[in-house]
Each structure stands twice: as structure tokens, then as C-alpha cells.
Amino acid sequence: MEMILNTIRLINNDQNVEWNCQDVEFMEEHLAIGFINPLDFKKLYLVPSLKLHISNNHGDVIVNFKQDSKIPEGIILMPVSLWANQVTYVKNNNIIYKNIKVNVEGTRDPPTKLNELIEKIKSDKI
Amino acid sequence: MSEQLKITCSGCSLLCDDIIIIKDDKEIKEILGACQKGINKFNQIKSKNRILSPLYKDKGGLKVLEWDLALNKAIQIIKNAKKPLIYGLSTISCESQILALKIAKKIDAFIDSNSTICQGKFLNIASEMGITTTTLTEIINKSDLIILWGTNIVESIPRLFSKILFSRGKFRMTGREIKNLIIVDIYKTASFKVMGTRDLAIIIRPNEDIELIKILKKAVKGDYTFPNEGISGIDKQDLERFKTFLLNSEHITILPGQALLNQKTNGDAIKELLELVNLLNNIKNNGRISLLMVGGHYNMVGFEHMALSETGKNQSIQFKNGESIKSDDNIISKIQKEDFDLSIIIGTDPISHFPLEISKILSSKPIILIDNKKSGTFLIATLILPTSITGIENKGLAFRLDHVPIQLKKIIEPPSLIQSDYELLQKILDRLNK
């Protein structure tokens, strides 16, 4: 399903805090996450055990999700992080962090691990 | 023996100067008055992710180096580079920023700060159109309307509201009772929780802020009626209230956030907002409407000032033959064009902030990282030089988000053999000058 992704800053999902003091597992739990409206949860035929596969022309990532009725339908929010960076992009020399068109679907695959993201950055050297 | 000190927190750009700590000769025992971000800053002191020795990556992985060898390695890498980049600089003191600028000049580097992907976009456009800014003191004393536009202050600069919204001022003696709040965002963020019945919550459709600003410009001129169906998902009644607030409030402060910087038409929303501000300032007989930029890093503003005073340009500075030259690039375009062969990253983590396509290019060239803690960039850096924490383990000057300079104190000693950004950059500069 096509959705609009916005990256945000949340005090309990802050990559600066996570890098500073927490374990990798804790970081993955707090940063590999998307927030969606419960109506989108239904539209995506999700169940709590599924994860979200988020993709666009720039990349893809698998994250956990939480439902939040405050979030407008059709919008997915993600904390600014290595996970969100998989679908952000550059336009006119600026990084686009907001209003990013993405395709979202449920998956049984586990959330993308930190080391997988780092390997992706390292292995595909241009 | 324990002592109590009042210090300034470098957890974010608010630089709260009312933090109380209780410490002995070796460590901080208690911190009073700091927010979650501030506490996190102090937690860095003993974080298990703290970097405590220079590290160099070779085929066998990361190796610990003696300082002298690490500095020699840094100089060797820098001297081998023909097109170095220096990036970050928003979490170091102004004194260190000046040294980084001197190094950039010495090695003909391109130097840029985090501001270039944050509030710097606003300042760049404002440099062409003009901008009315304000200080925290002025907001406390005079503001009767505060507008958050696309920023969630409660979670990004947690104590800002307690300083500017809930405080009593010289001309606003009743404090919160006389200060109104408008929040414009695409959903009800945590900041909406402080709103009272008089305040105005504007939930706008994504990417349509520019339409709202354009309509408000027409409306405040007095020759426009809002459409009955409203605009951008906002009711006509709320649009009328927005207009009334803008025209009837005396001192208005707008805090613009990333949502405005990231509109579909790059930069246009900023231009429109600056035009609205200028328009209102021309219409109003009393008071003023101003902007307060809310960048997060504690000394992002400092680099704007240091770079401007040293080079005449506030960011994205290219040096050639020891002089700053005209360049339309920023850090993103330099990386995207692969117009670099080394990056020196100081006090920031681009790998955790840049899109994958940019991080890949950045990681394909050597990286020297100068920082105090592990990060995404740490995981791909070639050479890592650790530093102490400014505002805790070393002193220095920083500029608060409202462009007011604040002196940060040294509170405790840094870990053994760990020097400040200033000391480290000075050593690098000295060795480059030899």
C-alpha cells in the first residue's frame, strides 16, 4: 500500500540517546520502528506479530510498528535513524526527510539489524 | 568533599544555565533540573559506548594506537588527500570551530556544519530577504503569541516551553495566562498536550504548509475571504482565528521546524513565511513578529558566527590556496558528486543522518572521526580520535539557539589521556604547520 513517510524526532526513540548508552538490541527496538494509524493497520491486513516492509526507489527496510490513532491515515512516522535513511533521498542538494512516498506491506521477516545496515553501506562501495 | 555547582547544560541548543550538580573531586554525584536530553549528555561520561583511545582500522579490524602514532597517522592521511571535507562542528566549542576553520584553510578543504541540512537553509534564504530574530529574554518578557510550525519542541528541546511559554515576563506578568499558542503540524505531537482552550491547534495536510502561508498573507492584507470548505484540511473557523491571532497579538514568535524546510517546493515555504513575517511587521503599529530557529545541536549557531567572522560565509566554505572561494556546493552535493577524497568528521554522525546513497559514497573514502562516543560513523571510520565532552570535561564558548553566547564550564577531569577538541585540533594544526 502506498503511504507517505515522515521522519520525526521523539525523545524515547532518539538515536543520539540510543548510540550513547544502550545495547544494539535496545537500539534496534527503539529505532527500527514505524508509527501508523489503526485504520492503516487494518488496511494492511496486519497482525501484531508481523513487521512492516517499507520500500521505495531509494531502498528498503523492515521495521517493527506501533499503532497510534493521532497519526493521520496514510502517514507512517519513523524516528530519524539509520533505518529511516534507507528510504530518504537527496533532491536539489537537500536531504528529503519528510513527505516521502513509500510502499508499505506486512512481512514475517524480522526487522533489519544494525549490522546489516552497516554492511549495506560498506559493501556496495561506489 | 562534595560541592554544589550551578552549571550550563550542553545537551541541546537551549543551553540551560540553571542546572545544579553535586560533585566531588572525581565525579558528578547528582544532577538537578536537567531534562531527559540533559541527563543523556551527562550519561555520556561513563557510557559504555565512550571512545577512550585512538583507533585505526586496518585489515585485521580496529587497532588501538598510541596518541603520537595516531596523530602522525592523521597527518599522513590528511597530507595524502587533495580534496578533503570537514563536516560536523556543531557539538564543539567556538574556539575549536575556529581551529577547524584554520585547518580547512591550511589544507584547502571544503568545510560545512550540520546547519547546512537544518536551520542553515533558513538563514541562507534569510540572507537574501532579511529576517527578524528574537531572544529568549524578549520572548519571555514580551511575547503574547508563540507559533510552533512543524516542530515538536517538547521532544526536541524539552525545556523550551518552560522557559518561554510558562514563564512570567516584564510585560507578561501573568505568564501562561496571557501567552497564546498556535501549533501547526500534520498530527498531534506531544507538544499539543500543553495547549489550553484559548490556543489554536492546526492539523494540516502533509506538504501543504505553503498554501496556508500564502492564504494567510492574503488574509492579513484584509482583501480575502477564506473558502467555506477551508484549505489544506483546516476549517474556515480556525483560519479566521489564525488571522485574528496574527493581527491582534502584539509580540509574535514563530518557531519553524524541519517540516517547513522539507516542503515539495524546495525553499519556497521559507520564502513565503519570511514574506508573511515582513508583511505583518509592516502592517502592525505595535509590537513585532520574529522567528526563532530551533536547531538541536548545542553549538550549531556558534559555527554560523565563527565561519561568518573568519570567512564572510556562514557555512559550506571551500578553501583554495588558503583563501575561501565562491562555491555553490554544500556537504551533500560534494559527496554526491564524489568531489572529495577524505572526510574529517568532527562531533557528529552523518552515517546515522544521511540517506543510504550518500552514506555509501562517504564510506568509500577514508574517514577521520573526532568524537567522544561510538556511532554509525564510528563503525565505518578509518581513524578515530577520541575527545573529552565540552561543557563537562572542558570549557568553551557556545551560542544558544537565540544567538546569545554562553560560556560552558569544565566540571570534572576527562578520562586519562583524553584531550578536548580544542587541544586535539591544535595539535593537528601544529603538525600540519611543521
Each residue's pLDDT, cut to its tens digit, for chain B (434 residues) gives 889 999 999 999 999 999 999 998 889 999 999 999 999 899 999 988 999 999 999 887 899 999 999 999 999 999 999 999 999 999 999 999 999 999 999 999 999 999 998 888 888 888 888 889 999 999 999 999 999 999 999 999 999 999 999 988 888 777 788 899 999 999 999 999 999 999 999 999 988 999 999 999 999 998 789 999 999 999 999 999 999 999 999 999 999 988 887 766 656 888 999 999 999 999 988 889 999 999 889 999 999 999 999 999 999 999 999 999 999 999 999 999 999 999 999 999 999 999 999 999 999 999 999 999 999 999 999 999 999 999 999 999 999 999 999 999 999 999 999 999 999 999 999 999 98
- Whether the per-residue pLDDT at A22 is higher than 70: the answer is no
Do B171 and B315 have their domain in common?
Answer: no
Contact flag A92-B117 (C-beta cutoff 8 Å): no
Do B286 and B318 have their domain in common?
Answer: no
Q: Mean pLDDT over residues A26-53, rounded? A: 94
Query: Cβ of A96 under 8 Å from any chain B Cβ?
Result: yes
Q: How many beta carbons lie within 10 A of that of residue B285, not counting itself?
A: 5
Residue among B360, B387, B361, B359 at smallest CA distance from B373 = B387
A interface mutation test: which of B208, B211, B262 has the most A CBs within 10 A? B262
Query: Cβ of A45 under 8 Å from any chain B Cβ?
Result: no
Picking from B37, B355, B374, the nearest residue to A95 by CB comes out as B355
Q: Which residues contact B80 (CB under 8 A, 6 or more apart)?
A: B342
Contact flag B186-A75 (C-beta cutoff 8 Å): yes
Do B135 and B274 have their domain in common?
Answer: yes
Do B37 and B130 have their domain in common?
Answer: no
pLDDT band for position A20 (50/70/90)? low
How many Å apart are CA B295 and CA B312, to the nearest integer? 21
Q: How many beta carbons lie within 10 A of that of residue B46, not counting itself?
A: 11
Residues of B in Cβ contact (< 8 Å) with A11: 36-37, 154-156, 158, 190
The domain locations on chain A are 2-121
Q: What is the ipTM of this complex?
A: 0.94
Q: Which residues contact B328 (CB under 8 A, 6 or more apart)?
A: none
How many Å apart are CA A114 and CA B379, to the nearest integer? 10
**What pLDDT shows up at residue B386?**
98
- The helix or strand, by DSSP H or E, that contains position B121, with its residue range, turns out to be helix B120-129
**What pLDDT shows up at residue B58?**
85
Picking from A85, A93, A125, the nearest residue to B356 by CB comes out as A85
Do B243 and B129 have their domain in common?
Answer: yes
How many Å apart are CA A91 and CA B25, to the nearest integer? 51
Residue B283 located in a structural domain: yes
Tell me the three state secondary structure of residue B25.
Answer: coil
Q: Return the C-alpha cell found at B95.
A: 574556539
- Hey, what amino acid is at B344? I
Contact, B166 vs B176, CB < 8 A?
yes
Do B191 and B264 have their domain in common?
Answer: yes
Contact flag B376-A19 (C-beta cutoff 8 Å): yes
A interface mutation test: which of B87, B186, B392 has the most A CBs within 10 A? B186
Q: What is the maximal distance between C-alpha atoms in chain A?
A: 42
Residues of A in Cβ contact (< 8 Å) with B263: 98-99
Do B125 and B113 have their domain in common?
Answer: no
Q: What is the DSSP string of B30-47?
A: EEES--HHHHHHHHGGG-
Residue B47 located in a structural domain: no
Picking from B188, B349, B356, the nearest residue to A86 by CB comes out as B356
Contact, A69 vs A37, CB < 8 A?
yes
Which chain A residue has its CA at the smallest distance from B266's CA? Answer: A92
Do B136 and B270 have their domain in common?
Answer: yes
Return the DSSP state at B391: T
* β-sheet bridge partners, residue B369: B345, B384
CA distance B367 to chain A (A): 12
Residue among B425, B414, B401, B343 at smallest CA distance from B164 = B401
Residue among B301, B47, B399 at smallest CA distance from A17 = B47
B interface mutation test: which of A5, A66, A98, A115 has the most B CBs within 10 A? A98
How many Å apart are CA A30 and CA B402, to the nearest integer? 31
CATH number at residue B62: 3.40.50.740
How many Å apart are CA A50 and CA A54, to the nearest integer? 13
Do B237 and B370 have their domain in common?
Answer: no
Residue B8 located in a structural domain: yes
Q: Which residues contact A24 (CB under 8 A, 6 or more apart)?
A: A114, A115
Classify residue B30 by burial, with Cβ atoms within 10 Å: 0-12, 13-18, 19+: exposed
Contact flag B357-A58 (C-beta cutoff 8 Å): yes
How many Å apart are CA B369 and CA B362, to the nearest integer? 12
Query: Cβ of A97 under 8 Å from any chain B Cβ?
Result: yes
Q: How many beta carbons lie within 10 A of that of residue B274, not counting itself?
A: 21
How many Å apart are CA A126 and CA A87, to the nearest integer? 18
What's the Cα-to-Cα distance from B19 to each of A69, B2, B7, rounded to whole Å? 36, 16, 5
How many Å apart are CA B24 and CA B3, to the nearest integer? 6
Picking from A6, A70, A89, the nearest residue to B357 by CB comes out as A89
Last residue of a domain, one of B291, B312, B339: B291
Q: Return the C-alpha cell found at B131.
A: 529576517
- Where does B264-323 have alpha helices with state H? 268-283, 300-311
Which has more pLDDT, B329 or A21?
Answer: B329
How many Å apart are CA A36 and CA B408, to the nearest integer? 41
CATH number at residue B170: 3.40.228.10
How many Å apart are CA B94 and CA B305, to the nearest integer? 9
Which has more pLDDT, B172 or A79?
Answer: A79
First-to-final CA distance of chain A = 31
Do B230 and B309 have their domain in common?
Answer: no
How many alpha carbons lie under 13 Å from residue B400 in its C-beta half-sphere? 19
Residue among B294, B293, B291 at smallest CA distance from B143 = B291
Which has more pLDDT, A74 or A21?
Answer: A74
Picking from A71, A90, A125, the nearest residue to B355 by CB comes out as A90
Q: Return the C-alpha cell found at B10.
A: 550542553
Query: Cβ of A71 under 8 Å from any chain B Cβ?
Result: yes
**What pLDDT shows up at residue B173?**
76
Do B222 and B346 have their domain in common?
Answer: no
Residue B279 located in a structural domain: yes
The position carrying cell 497579538 is B249
How many Å apart are CA B214 and CA B221, to the nearest integer? 11
**What pLDDT shows up at residue B222?**
87
**What pLDDT shows up at residue B123?**
84
Number of domains in chain B: 3
How many Å apart are CA A7 and CA B132, to the nearest integer? 28
How many Å apart are CA B215 and CA B427, to the nearest integer? 55
Return the DSSP state at B46: G
Q: Return the C-alpha cell found at B53.
A: 583511545
How many Å apart are CA B294 and CA A9, to the nearest integer? 13
Residue B401 located in a structural domain: no
Contact flag A85-B206 (C-beta cutoff 8 Å): no
Query: Cβ of A106 under 8 Å from any chain B Cβ?
Result: no
Query: Cβ of A47 under 8 Å from any chain B Cβ?
Result: no
How many Å apart are CA B113 and CA B102, to the nearest integer? 15
Q: Return the C-alpha cell found at B37.
A: 536530553
Residues of A in Cβ contact (< 8 Å) with B156: 9, 11
Which chain A residue has its CA at the smallest distance from B349's CA? Answer: A16
Fold of A2-121: Barwin-like endoglucanases (2.40.40)
Q: How many beta carbons lie within 10 A of that of residue A2, not counting itself?
A: 9
How many Å apart are CA B330 and CA B366, to the nearest integer? 19
* β-sheet bridge partners, residue A79: A8
Q: Mean pLDDT over residues A35-63, rounded? A: 96
Q: Domain containing B33: what range?
A: 3-42
Residue B367 located in a structural domain: yes
Q: What is the DSSP string of B375-413?
A: -TTTTT-SEEEEBPPBTTTB-EEEE-TTS-EEEEPP-SP
Do B135 and B284 have their domain in common?
Answer: yes
The position carrying cell 529511516 is A84
pLDDT band for position A125 (50/70/90)? very low
Last residue of a domain, one of B269, B291, B313: B291
- Where does A1-126 have alpha helices with state H? 15-21, 24-31, 38-43, 114-123
CA distance A54 to chain B (A): 14
Residue B389 located in a structural domain: yes
